[in-house]
Structure 1
Amino acid sequence: MADEGHVKASGEILSFLVKNGRKLSYSPGDVVLRQGEHSNYVCIIMSGEAEVVRHDSSGGSVSIATLERGAVLGEMGSFLDNRRTADVVALTPMELLVFQNHTFLKALRDVPELAERIMRNFAQRINSINEELSGVRRSKLLYAVSLLIYENMENPHSLSERVTISYDDAFFSYGLRQGKLLDGLVILSESGAVSGIAEVSKGGFISGERINDEAGLSAPKSSVTLTVDVPALKASLKGLAKF
Protein backbone atom coordinates (compact mmCIF):
# COMPACT_ATOMS: atom_id res chain seq x y z
CA MET A 1 0.00 0.00 0.00
CA ALA A 2 1.93 3.00 -1.19
CA ASP A 3 1.33 6.54 0.05
CA GLU A 4 -2.28 5.89 1.04
CA GLY A 5 -3.67 8.70 3.17
CA HIS A 6 -0.58 10.94 2.84
CA VAL A 7 0.05 14.05 0.80
CA LYS A 8 2.64 14.03 -1.98
CA ALA A 9 4.41 17.34 -2.54
CA SER A 10 5.12 18.63 -6.03
CA GLY A 11 8.39 20.22 -7.15
CA GLU A 12 6.99 23.71 -6.62
CA ILE A 13 5.94 22.91 -3.06
CA LEU A 14 9.28 21.28 -2.26
CA SER A 15 11.19 24.31 -3.58
CA PHE A 16 9.22 26.62 -1.37
CA LEU A 17 9.62 24.53 1.76
CA VAL A 18 13.33 23.80 1.32
CA LYS A 19 13.99 27.47 1.96
CA ASN A 20 12.49 27.25 5.43
CA GLY A 21 13.32 23.73 6.58
CA ARG A 22 16.35 21.73 7.59
CA LYS A 23 17.55 18.42 6.23
CA LEU A 24 17.98 15.31 8.36
CA SER A 25 19.31 11.89 7.35
CA TYR A 26 18.11 8.49 8.59
CA SER A 27 19.34 4.91 8.20
CA PRO A 28 17.17 1.81 7.63
CA GLY A 29 15.37 0.89 10.86
CA ASP A 30 15.53 4.39 12.35
CA VAL A 31 12.26 5.67 13.82
CA VAL A 32 11.54 8.95 12.07
CA LEU A 33 8.32 9.73 13.97
CA ARG A 34 7.27 7.88 17.10
CA GLN A 35 3.69 7.08 18.08
CA GLY A 36 2.59 9.00 21.17
CA GLU A 37 5.12 11.82 20.82
CA HIS A 38 3.92 15.41 20.56
CA SER A 39 3.38 16.61 16.97
CA ASN A 40 5.42 19.79 16.88
CA TYR A 41 6.97 19.53 13.40
CA VAL A 42 6.19 18.29 9.88
CA CYS A 43 8.45 16.27 7.58
CA ILE A 44 8.72 15.78 3.83
CA ILE A 45 10.57 12.79 2.41
CA MET A 46 13.23 14.06 0.00
CA SER A 47 14.60 10.58 -0.79
CA GLY A 48 14.12 7.00 0.36
CA GLU A 49 11.15 5.03 1.68
CA ALA A 50 9.48 4.61 5.07
CA GLU A 51 6.83 2.38 6.63
CA VAL A 52 3.94 3.61 8.79
CA VAL A 53 3.31 1.24 11.73
CA ARG A 54 0.50 1.60 14.28
CA HIS A 55 0.66 -0.08 17.70
CA ASP A 56 -2.35 -1.05 19.82
CA SER A 57 -2.77 -1.27 23.59
CA SER A 58 -2.30 -5.07 23.60
CA GLY A 59 1.20 -4.79 22.12
CA GLY A 60 0.24 -5.71 18.56
CA SER A 61 1.19 -3.66 15.51
CA VAL A 62 0.02 -3.30 11.94
CA SER A 63 1.67 -1.80 8.86
CA ILE A 64 -0.56 0.94 7.45
CA ALA A 65 1.34 2.28 4.46
CA THR A 66 4.64 2.62 2.63
CA LEU A 67 5.76 6.20 1.95
CA GLU A 68 8.06 7.45 -0.80
CA ARG A 69 9.70 10.68 -1.98
CA GLY A 70 7.42 13.70 -1.66
CA ALA A 71 5.20 12.30 1.11
CA VAL A 72 4.32 14.75 3.87
CA LEU A 73 4.39 13.36 7.43
CA GLY A 74 2.76 14.79 10.54
CA GLU A 75 0.63 17.43 8.83
CA MET A 76 -2.41 16.50 10.95
CA GLY A 77 -0.51 17.47 14.10
CA SER A 78 0.15 20.97 12.81
CA PHE A 79 -3.62 21.61 12.92
CA LEU A 80 -4.67 19.56 15.93
CA ASP A 81 -1.62 19.93 18.17
CA ASN A 82 -2.05 16.28 19.15
CA ARG A 83 0.27 13.30 19.52
CA ARG A 84 1.58 11.04 16.76
CA THR A 85 -0.85 8.27 15.92
CA ALA A 86 1.77 5.90 14.43
CA ASP A 87 5.49 5.21 14.05
CA VAL A 88 7.21 6.09 10.79
CA VAL A 89 10.23 3.81 10.30
CA ALA A 90 12.90 4.19 7.61
CA LEU A 91 13.04 1.25 5.18
CA THR A 92 15.99 2.64 3.20
CA PRO A 93 18.52 5.45 3.72
CA MET A 94 16.40 8.59 3.88
CA GLU A 95 16.69 12.35 3.68
CA LEU A 96 13.91 14.40 5.21
CA LEU A 97 13.08 18.06 5.17
CA VAL A 98 11.86 19.03 8.65
CA PHE A 99 10.18 22.27 9.68
CA GLN A 100 8.15 23.59 12.57
CA ASN A 101 4.36 23.62 12.53
CA HIS A 102 4.11 27.40 12.16
CA THR A 103 6.28 27.24 9.03
CA PHE A 104 4.02 24.59 7.54
CA LEU A 105 0.92 26.65 8.29
CA LYS A 106 2.55 29.67 6.64
CA ALA A 107 3.23 27.51 3.56
CA LEU A 108 -0.47 26.64 3.37
CA ARG A 109 -1.27 30.35 3.18
CA ASP A 110 1.43 31.12 0.65
CA VAL A 111 1.15 28.03 -1.61
CA PRO A 112 -2.50 27.36 -2.63
CA GLU A 113 -1.54 24.05 -4.28
CA LEU A 114 -0.31 22.67 -0.96
CA ALA A 115 -3.47 23.80 0.86
CA GLU A 116 -5.61 22.13 -1.80
CA ARG A 117 -3.66 18.86 -1.52
CA ILE A 118 -3.94 18.89 2.27
CA MET A 119 -7.71 19.45 2.16
CA ARG A 120 -8.13 16.67 -0.40
CA ASN A 121 -6.06 14.38 1.82
CA PHE A 122 -8.22 15.16 4.87
CA ALA A 123 -11.37 14.39 2.88
CA GLN A 124 -9.91 11.05 1.76
CA ARG A 125 -9.01 10.17 5.35
CA ILE A 126 -12.52 10.92 6.60
CA ASN A 127 -13.98 8.79 3.82
CA SER A 128 -11.56 5.98 4.61
CA ILE A 129 -12.45 6.10 8.32
CA ASN A 130 -16.17 5.98 7.50
CA GLU A 131 -15.65 2.96 5.26
CA GLU A 132 -13.58 1.23 7.94
CA LEU A 133 -16.21 1.84 10.61
CA SER A 134 -18.92 0.55 8.29
CA GLY A 135 -16.88 -2.61 7.65
CA VAL A 136 -16.30 -3.17 11.37
CA ARG A 137 -20.01 -2.79 12.16
CA ARG A 138 -20.89 -5.23 9.40
CA SER A 139 -18.31 -7.75 10.64
CA LYS A 140 -19.55 -7.50 14.24
CA LEU A 141 -23.13 -8.04 13.08
CA LEU A 142 -22.17 -11.09 11.04
CA TYR A 143 -20.15 -12.52 13.93
CA ALA A 144 -23.06 -12.12 16.38
CA VAL A 145 -25.57 -13.66 13.96
CA SER A 146 -23.22 -16.54 13.07
CA LEU A 147 -22.56 -17.27 16.74
CA LEU A 148 -26.28 -17.15 17.51
CA ILE A 149 -27.00 -19.69 14.73
CA TYR A 150 -24.19 -21.95 15.93
CA GLU A 151 -25.48 -21.89 19.51
CA ASN A 152 -28.95 -22.93 18.30
CA MET A 153 -27.72 -25.91 16.27
CA GLU A 154 -28.44 -29.40 17.60
CA ASN A 155 -25.55 -31.08 15.76
CA PRO A 156 -22.58 -28.77 15.04
CA HIS A 157 -20.77 -31.70 13.35
CA SER A 158 -23.38 -32.17 10.62
CA LEU A 159 -22.99 -30.82 7.09
CA SER A 160 -26.41 -29.19 6.96
CA GLU A 161 -29.06 -28.43 9.54
CA ARG A 162 -32.38 -26.65 9.79
CA VAL A 163 -32.29 -24.11 12.64
CA THR A 164 -34.96 -21.93 14.22
CA ILE A 165 -34.02 -18.79 16.15
CA SER A 166 -36.46 -16.85 18.29
CA TYR A 167 -36.38 -13.09 18.05
CA ASP A 168 -36.49 -12.87 21.84
CA ASP A 169 -33.33 -15.01 22.07
CA ALA A 170 -31.57 -12.87 19.46
CA PHE A 171 -32.40 -9.69 21.35
CA PHE A 172 -31.70 -10.83 24.90
CA SER A 173 -28.52 -12.77 24.01
CA TYR A 174 -26.91 -10.37 21.52
CA GLY A 175 -29.02 -7.22 21.46
CA LEU A 176 -30.14 -8.01 17.89
CA ARG A 177 -33.52 -6.64 16.98
CA GLN A 178 -35.57 -8.41 14.32
CA GLY A 179 -34.46 -6.15 11.45
CA LYS A 180 -30.75 -6.44 12.30
CA LEU A 181 -30.99 -10.22 12.61
CA LEU A 182 -32.65 -10.49 9.21
CA ASP A 183 -30.04 -8.14 7.70
CA GLY A 184 -27.28 -10.40 9.00
CA LEU A 185 -29.00 -13.52 7.68
CA VAL A 186 -29.41 -12.02 4.23
CA ILE A 187 -25.69 -11.18 4.11
CA LEU A 188 -24.79 -14.70 5.26
CA SER A 189 -27.10 -16.13 2.59
CA GLU A 190 -25.06 -14.28 -0.06
CA SER A 191 -21.99 -16.25 1.03
CA GLY A 192 -23.91 -19.53 1.05
CA ALA A 193 -23.65 -20.05 4.82
CA VAL A 194 -27.44 -20.06 5.19
CA SER A 195 -30.40 -20.50 2.85
CA GLY A 196 -34.16 -20.97 2.86
CA ILE A 197 -34.71 -18.08 5.24
CA ALA A 198 -38.34 -17.81 6.39
CA GLU A 199 -40.07 -16.25 9.36
CA VAL A 200 -42.31 -18.17 11.73
CA SER A 201 -45.40 -16.75 13.46
CA LYS A 202 -47.26 -18.19 16.38
CA GLY A 203 -49.83 -19.49 13.91
CA GLY A 204 -47.40 -21.39 11.73
CA PHE A 205 -44.77 -21.17 9.00
CA ILE A 206 -44.57 -18.03 6.86
CA SER A 207 -42.33 -17.64 3.81
CA GLY A 208 -40.76 -14.26 3.22
CA GLU A 209 -40.17 -11.28 5.50
CA ARG A 210 -43.70 -9.84 5.63
CA ILE A 211 -47.19 -11.29 5.30
CA ASN A 212 -50.53 -9.55 5.77
CA ASP A 213 -53.43 -11.15 7.51
CA GLU A 214 -57.06 -10.77 6.45
CA ALA A 215 -57.33 -7.49 8.31
CA GLY A 216 -54.38 -6.09 6.37
CA LEU A 217 -52.02 -6.16 9.33
CA SER A 218 -48.62 -7.82 9.50
CA ALA A 219 -48.89 -11.25 11.12
CA PRO A 220 -46.88 -11.41 14.37
CA LYS A 221 -43.61 -13.32 13.97
CA SER A 222 -41.74 -14.85 16.85
CA SER A 223 -38.81 -16.56 15.13
CA VAL A 224 -36.94 -17.22 11.92
CA THR A 225 -35.98 -20.60 10.51
CA LEU A 226 -33.24 -21.35 7.99
CA THR A 227 -31.02 -24.04 6.52
CA VAL A 228 -27.39 -23.85 7.63
CA ASP A 229 -24.37 -24.97 5.62
CA VAL A 230 -22.39 -25.93 8.72
CA PRO A 231 -18.84 -25.91 7.22
CA ALA A 232 -19.52 -22.51 5.61
CA LEU A 233 -20.87 -21.13 8.90
CA LYS A 234 -17.79 -22.36 10.78
CA ALA A 235 -15.57 -20.72 8.16
CA SER A 236 -17.51 -17.49 8.63
CA LEU A 237 -17.03 -17.63 12.41
CA LYS A 238 -13.32 -18.31 12.06
CA GLY A 239 -12.82 -15.40 9.69
CA LEU A 240 -14.82 -13.00 11.85
CA ALA A 241 -13.47 -14.05 15.26
CA LYS A 242 -11.02 -11.13 15.46
CA PHE A 243 -13.95 -8.73 15.65
Structure 2
Amino acid sequence: MNKKAGFAFKVNSEITSLFSQYGRLKAYKEGTEIVKQGDYSNYVYIILAGDAEVIRIDRFGNENSLAVMSVGDIVGEMGAFLNNKRSATVKAKTVVKAIECPNQMFIRGLFSTHELTYRIMKNFADRINTLNGQVANHVQARIMLVLDRFISEKIVEDKTVQDIELDLEEVTTQTRLENHKIVEGLYNFKALKAITKLVFPAEINITEVVVEGQNVGDETGEEDEDKVVEVEQASSGKVVLQIDLGRYKDTIRRISYF
Protein backbone atom coordinates (compact mmCIF):
# COMPACT_ATOMS: atom_id res chain seq x y z
CA MET A 1 0.00 0.00 0.00
CA ASN A 2 1.33 3.43 -0.89
CA LYS A 3 1.64 6.12 1.71
CA LYS A 4 -0.90 8.91 1.65
CA ALA A 5 -0.36 12.60 2.36
CA GLY A 6 0.65 13.09 5.96
CA PHE A 7 2.60 9.82 6.15
CA ALA A 8 5.39 10.75 3.77
CA PHE A 9 8.60 11.28 5.74
CA LYS A 10 11.06 9.20 7.76
CA VAL A 11 13.63 10.06 10.40
CA ASN A 12 17.26 9.08 9.93
CA SER A 13 19.49 7.12 12.32
CA GLU A 14 20.92 10.30 13.86
CA ILE A 15 17.47 11.55 14.84
CA THR A 16 16.48 8.09 16.07
CA SER A 17 19.59 7.97 18.26
CA LEU A 18 18.76 11.40 19.69
CA PHE A 19 15.21 10.45 20.66
CA SER A 20 16.29 7.18 22.22
CA GLN A 21 17.59 9.40 25.04
CA TYR A 22 14.09 10.78 25.65
CA GLY A 23 12.03 7.59 25.51
CA ARG A 24 12.04 3.84 26.00
CA LEU A 25 12.16 0.88 23.65
CA LYS A 26 8.93 -1.08 23.22
CA ALA A 27 8.03 -4.17 21.21
CA TYR A 28 4.61 -5.06 19.73
CA LYS A 29 3.44 -8.44 18.46
CA GLU A 30 1.71 -8.75 15.11
CA GLY A 31 -1.89 -7.50 15.42
CA THR A 32 -1.19 -5.48 18.58
CA GLU A 33 -2.45 -1.88 18.74
CA ILE A 34 0.35 0.66 19.13
CA VAL A 35 -2.13 3.51 19.49
CA LYS A 36 -5.93 3.33 19.52
CA GLN A 37 -8.40 5.69 17.89
CA GLY A 38 -10.15 7.78 20.55
CA ASP A 39 -7.46 7.40 23.22
CA TYR A 40 -5.62 10.46 24.50
CA SER A 41 -2.34 11.26 22.74
CA ASN A 42 0.28 11.04 25.48
CA TYR A 43 3.17 9.55 23.51
CA VAL A 44 4.94 9.78 20.16
CA TYR A 45 6.44 6.64 18.60
CA ILE A 46 9.40 6.24 16.24
CA ILE A 47 9.37 2.88 14.44
CA LEU A 48 12.74 1.11 14.54
CA ALA A 49 11.71 -2.21 12.98
CA GLY A 50 8.64 -3.78 11.37
CA ASP A 51 5.51 -2.47 9.65
CA ALA A 52 2.35 -0.96 11.11
CA GLU A 53 -1.01 -0.17 9.52
CA VAL A 54 -2.93 3.08 10.07
CA ILE A 55 -6.66 2.34 10.38
CA ARG A 56 -9.55 4.77 10.86
CA ILE A 57 -12.99 3.56 11.92
CA ASP A 58 -15.79 5.54 10.28
CA ARG A 59 -19.16 6.43 11.77
CA PHE A 60 -20.63 3.18 10.41
CA GLY A 61 -18.04 1.06 12.21
CA ASN A 62 -16.08 0.18 9.07
CA GLU A 63 -12.29 -0.08 9.25
CA ASN A 64 -10.57 2.05 6.59
CA SER A 65 -6.87 1.42 5.93
CA LEU A 66 -5.08 4.75 5.42
CA ALA A 67 -1.40 3.86 5.17
CA VAL A 68 1.36 1.46 6.10
CA MET A 69 4.18 2.79 8.27
CA SER A 70 7.65 1.28 8.53
CA VAL A 71 11.18 1.89 9.82
CA GLY A 72 11.86 5.58 10.49
CA ASP A 73 8.21 6.65 10.52
CA ILE A 74 6.76 8.72 13.37
CA VAL A 75 3.41 7.81 14.92
CA GLY A 76 1.31 10.38 16.78
CA GLU A 77 3.33 13.57 16.35
CA MET A 78 0.19 15.68 15.92
CA GLY A 79 -0.97 14.72 19.41
CA ALA A 80 2.23 16.13 20.89
CA PHE A 81 1.18 19.60 19.73
CA LEU A 82 -2.61 19.43 20.00
CA ASN A 83 -3.06 17.26 23.11
CA ASN A 84 -6.11 15.70 21.46
CA LYS A 85 -7.47 12.19 21.06
CA ARG A 86 -6.04 9.78 18.52
CA SER A 87 -7.68 10.21 15.12
CA ALA A 88 -6.77 6.68 14.01
CA THR A 89 -5.56 3.31 15.25
CA VAL A 90 -2.05 2.11 14.41
CA LYS A 91 -1.74 -1.68 14.50
CA ALA A 92 1.39 -3.80 14.09
CA LYS A 93 1.36 -5.77 10.81
CA THR A 94 4.55 -7.57 11.82
CA VAL A 95 6.58 -7.57 15.01
CA VAL A 96 7.28 -3.86 15.59
CA LYS A 97 9.98 -2.24 17.69
CA ALA A 98 9.55 1.45 18.47
CA ILE A 99 10.76 4.24 20.72
CA GLU A 100 7.94 5.49 22.95
CA CYS A 101 8.54 9.15 23.76
CA PRO A 102 6.35 11.32 26.05
CA ASN A 103 4.91 14.34 24.25
CA GLN A 104 6.83 16.93 26.27
CA MET A 105 10.13 15.08 25.72
CA PHE A 106 9.43 14.81 21.99
CA ILE A 107 8.88 18.56 21.75
CA ARG A 108 12.06 19.16 23.76
CA GLY A 109 13.95 16.99 21.31
CA LEU A 110 12.73 19.08 18.38
CA PHE A 111 14.81 22.00 19.64
CA SER A 112 17.90 19.86 19.12
CA THR A 113 17.27 19.02 15.46
CA HIS A 114 16.14 21.53 12.87
CA GLU A 115 15.86 18.81 10.24
CA LEU A 116 13.09 16.99 12.07
CA THR A 117 11.30 20.27 12.81
CA TYR A 118 11.33 21.07 9.09
CA ARG A 119 10.06 17.59 8.19
CA ILE A 120 7.19 17.79 10.65
CA MET A 121 6.20 21.27 9.43
CA LYS A 122 6.21 19.99 5.85
CA ASN A 123 4.21 16.97 6.92
CA PHE A 124 1.56 19.19 8.52
CA ALA A 125 1.49 21.40 5.41
CA ASP A 126 0.89 18.33 3.20
CA ARG A 127 -1.98 17.23 5.44
CA ILE A 128 -3.59 20.67 5.36
CA ASN A 129 -3.25 20.83 1.58
CA THR A 130 -4.89 17.42 1.21
CA LEU A 131 -7.64 18.35 3.67
CA ASN A 132 -8.38 21.58 1.77
CA GLY A 133 -8.95 19.57 -1.39
CA GLN A 134 -11.14 17.06 0.41
CA VAL A 135 -13.25 19.82 1.97
CA ALA A 136 -13.74 21.54 -1.40
CA ASN A 137 -14.60 18.17 -2.94
CA HIS A 138 -17.11 17.46 -0.17
CA VAL A 139 -18.76 20.89 -0.55
CA GLN A 140 -19.19 20.40 -4.31
CA ALA A 141 -20.68 16.94 -3.76
CA ARG A 142 -23.15 18.30 -1.20
CA ILE A 143 -24.30 21.01 -3.61
CA MET A 144 -24.85 18.39 -6.31
CA LEU A 145 -26.89 16.25 -3.92
CA VAL A 146 -29.04 19.27 -3.03
CA LEU A 147 -29.67 19.92 -6.73
CA ASP A 148 -30.58 16.25 -7.15
CA ARG A 149 -33.68 16.86 -5.02
CA PHE A 150 -35.03 19.12 -7.75
CA ILE A 151 -33.71 17.12 -10.71
CA SER A 152 -34.87 13.65 -9.61
CA GLU A 153 -38.51 14.66 -9.20
CA LYS A 154 -38.62 15.70 -12.87
CA ILE A 155 -36.90 12.63 -14.32
CA VAL A 156 -38.93 10.13 -16.35
CA GLU A 157 -37.54 6.67 -15.61
CA ASP A 158 -38.15 5.08 -19.03
CA LYS A 159 -36.27 7.75 -21.04
CA THR A 160 -32.52 7.24 -21.39
CA VAL A 161 -31.84 10.80 -22.54
CA GLN A 162 -34.30 13.52 -21.62
CA ASP A 163 -34.67 17.26 -21.17
CA ILE A 164 -35.89 18.74 -17.92
CA GLU A 165 -36.32 22.34 -16.82
CA LEU A 166 -35.20 23.74 -13.46
CA ASP A 167 -36.68 26.89 -11.96
CA LEU A 168 -33.71 28.86 -10.62
CA GLU A 169 -35.85 31.00 -8.35
CA GLU A 170 -37.43 27.91 -6.79
CA VAL A 171 -34.03 26.31 -6.18
CA THR A 172 -32.60 29.51 -4.72
CA THR A 173 -35.60 30.14 -2.48
CA GLN A 174 -35.71 26.63 -1.05
CA THR A 175 -31.96 26.07 -0.68
CA ARG A 176 -30.63 29.63 -0.23
CA LEU A 177 -27.86 28.73 -2.67
CA GLU A 178 -26.55 31.65 -4.70
CA ASN A 179 -26.82 31.42 -8.50
CA HIS A 180 -23.09 30.89 -9.00
CA LYS A 181 -23.14 27.91 -6.62
CA ILE A 182 -26.05 26.38 -8.52
CA VAL A 183 -24.18 26.92 -11.78
CA GLU A 184 -21.05 25.28 -10.34
CA GLY A 185 -23.08 22.26 -9.28
CA LEU A 186 -24.69 21.91 -12.70
CA TYR A 187 -21.32 22.20 -14.44
CA ASN A 188 -19.97 19.48 -12.16
CA PHE A 189 -22.72 17.21 -13.46
CA LYS A 190 -21.83 18.24 -17.01
CA ALA A 191 -18.11 17.53 -16.47
CA LEU A 192 -19.09 14.00 -15.40
CA LYS A 193 -21.37 13.64 -18.48
CA ALA A 194 -24.42 13.12 -16.26
CA ILE A 195 -25.78 16.27 -17.88
CA THR A 196 -24.88 16.37 -21.57
CA LYS A 197 -26.08 19.90 -22.29
CA LEU A 198 -27.00 23.01 -20.31
CA VAL A 199 -29.02 25.95 -21.60
CA PHE A 200 -29.31 29.00 -19.36
CA PRO A 201 -31.84 31.82 -19.67
CA ALA A 202 -30.72 34.92 -21.55
CA GLU A 203 -30.54 37.06 -18.38
CA ILE A 204 -27.74 34.87 -17.00
CA ASN A 205 -24.49 35.55 -18.83
CA ILE A 206 -22.33 32.44 -18.52
CA THR A 207 -18.92 32.76 -20.14
CA GLU A 208 -16.85 30.27 -18.16
CA VAL A 209 -17.25 28.36 -14.94
CA VAL A 210 -14.26 27.39 -12.81
CA VAL A 211 -15.13 24.76 -10.23
CA GLU A 212 -13.07 24.97 -7.03
CA GLY A 213 -11.42 21.94 -5.46
CA GLN A 214 -10.78 18.50 -6.88
CA ASN A 215 -12.98 16.57 -9.29
CA VAL A 216 -15.88 14.95 -7.51
CA GLY A 217 -15.70 11.91 -9.77
CA ASP A 218 -13.91 10.45 -12.74
CA GLU A 219 -14.69 11.83 -16.17
CA THR A 220 -15.99 9.19 -18.53
CA GLY A 221 -14.19 10.30 -21.69
CA GLU A 222 -15.35 12.10 -24.80
CA GLU A 223 -18.97 13.02 -25.30
CA ASP A 224 -20.98 10.30 -27.06
CA GLU A 225 -22.59 11.71 -30.18
CA ASP A 226 -25.45 9.19 -30.07
CA LYS A 227 -26.46 10.42 -26.63
CA VAL A 228 -26.79 14.09 -27.58
CA VAL A 229 -30.06 15.55 -28.86
CA GLU A 230 -31.14 19.12 -29.39
CA VAL A 231 -32.54 21.00 -26.40
CA GLU A 232 -35.04 23.80 -26.39
CA GLN A 233 -34.03 27.35 -25.53
CA ALA A 234 -34.47 28.04 -21.81
CA SER A 235 -37.28 30.38 -20.85
CA SER A 236 -36.80 33.25 -18.41
CA GLY A 237 -35.58 32.11 -14.99
CA LYS A 238 -35.29 28.50 -16.10
CA VAL A 239 -32.37 26.21 -16.95
CA VAL A 240 -32.79 23.36 -19.42
CA LEU A 241 -30.80 20.24 -18.59
CA GLN A 242 -30.25 17.32 -20.92
CA ILE A 243 -29.93 14.26 -18.66
CA ASP A 244 -28.19 11.00 -19.46
CA LEU A 245 -30.16 8.87 -17.01
CA GLY A 246 -27.65 6.03 -16.63
CA ARG A 247 -24.69 8.30 -16.01
CA TYR A 248 -26.75 10.58 -13.80
CA LYS A 249 -27.75 7.74 -11.45
CA ASP A 250 -24.16 6.46 -11.36
CA THR A 251 -22.89 9.95 -10.48
CA ILE A 252 -25.37 10.36 -7.63
CA ARG A 253 -24.42 6.94 -6.29
CA ARG A 254 -20.70 7.85 -6.28
CA ILE A 255 -20.98 11.30 -4.71
CA SER A 256 -23.29 10.00 -1.99
CA TYR A 257 -20.20 8.51 -0.33
CA PHE A 258 -18.46 11.90 0.16
Normalised by the length of structure 1, the TM-score is 0.86
Superposed CA RMSD in Å reads: 2.0
Q: Which moved more, 1:92-101 or 1:10-19?
A: 10-19
Question: Take 2:154 and 2:247, find their aligned partners in 1: how far apart are those partners?
Answer: 16
Q: Which runs of 5+ in 2 are unaligned?
A: 207-234
- Large movers: runs of 4+ above 4 Å: none
Q: Which amino acid aligns with 1:227?
A: Q
Alignment of 1:1-243 (within 5 A): 1-2=2-3, 4-6=5-7, 7-153=9-155, 155-200=156-201, 206=202, 209-210=204-205, 221-243=236-258
Question: Take 2:153 and 2:192, find their aligned partners in 1: how far apart are those partners?
Answer: 20
Instruction: Report how far residue 192 of structure 1 moved.
Output: 1.6
Q: Which amino acid aligns with 2:177?
A: L
Question: Take 1:161 and 1:238, find their aligned partners in 2: how far apart are those partners?
Answer: 19
Instruction: Report how far residue 104 of structure 1 moved.
Output: 0.7
User: Which deviations, in whole Å up to 9, do the C-alpha atoms of 1:80-106 show, x marking residues without a partner?
Assistant: 111111110111111011111121111
Question: Take 1:83 and 1:241, find their aligned partners in 2: how far apart are those partners?
Answer: 28
Distance 1:242 1:174, change over 3 A: farther
Distance 1:21 1:3, change over 3 A: farther
Question: Take 1:157 and 1:144, find their aligned partners in 2: how far apart are those partners?
Answer: 23
> How many percent identity over aligned positions?
29
Question: Take 2:117 and 2:140, find their aligned partners in 1: how far apart are those partners?
Answer: 35
Q: Which amino acid aligns with 1:35?
A: Q
* Cross-structure match for 1:215: none
Q: Which runs of 5+ in 1 are unaligned?
A: 201-205, 212-219
Which is richer in strand?
A: 1
Question: Take 1:121 and 1:221, find their aligned partners in 2: how far apart are those partners?
Answer: 51
Distance 1:3 1:161, change over 3 A: closer
* Cross-structure match for 2:221: none
Q: SS at 2:25's partner residue?
A: strand
Q: Which amino acid aligns with 2:49?
A: S
Question: Take 2:59 and 2:183, find their aligned partners in 1: how far apart are those partners?
Answer: 34
Question: Take 1:3 and 1:97, find their aligned partners in 2: how far apart are those partners?
Answer: 23
Greater C-alpha radius of gyration: 1
Question: Take 1:238 and 1:229, find their aligned partners in 2: how far apart are those partners?
Answer: 14
Q: Which amino acid aligns with 2:160?
A: L
Aligned residues: 228
Q: SS at 1:23's partner residue?
A: strand
